[in-house]
Amino acid sequence: MSDVKKVSDEFSAGGQPTPETLKQLADEGYKSVVNLRSLDETGVLADEQQQAKAVGLEYVNVPLKSTSANDNLTATVLSELQGLPTPVYFHCGVGGRASALALIAFATQQKLNREEVLARAKELDINPDQPHLQKFLESLS
């Protein structure tokens, strides 16, 4: 499995998993998957929830647009996380939204300030201009 960003011991992010990747995630000890894609996106795994459950992973889908942030949906993701066992694998198409949301979840959990979030984003090569992360950073200003 390539291009997985480990934001913390509890939160990692990457692109769209295949059924094989979901099994690999379960085998590596992941307990939950948060899918940030909508079903109309290209390359989405239509039966991902069933595939995840079949290998013992908890599953949540909160579709986020890649081009614009939505505070309500970000809050929904954070709320859904409360009931999920960790570690959690966040994913979108290629990992941009997923990395941003994993970092937001970590920053919220650890009560990081704006500078700490920016430092962590730089360390992990997460784009601070990603719309969801940018909106979150504005809320910390």
d(C-alpha 92, C-alpha 137), whole Å: 20
Domain containing 120: what range? Answer: 5-140
CB neighbour list of residue 74: distance below 8 Å, 6 or more residues apart: 64, 101, 104, 132, 135, 136
Q: Interhelix angle for 114-124 vs 131-140, to 10°?
A: 150
User: What pLDDT is stored for residue 2 in this prediction?
Assistant: 60
pTM metric for this prediction: 0.95
pLDDT digit string (tens) for 57-83?
A: 999 999 999 888 888 999 999 999 999
Q: How many CB atoms lie within 10 A of CB 21?
A: 20
| Pair 110, 78: CB distance under 8 Å | no
pLDDT digit string (tens) for 7-19?
A: 999 999 999 999 9
d(C-alpha 64, C-alpha 54), whole Å: 25
**CATH number for the domain that contains residue 98:** 3.90.190.10
pLDDT band at 1 (very low <50, low <70, confident <90, very high): low
Q: How far is CA 82 from the centre of its chain?
A: 14
Q: Which two three-digit tokens encode residue 92?
A: 């979108």
Total domains in the chain come to 1
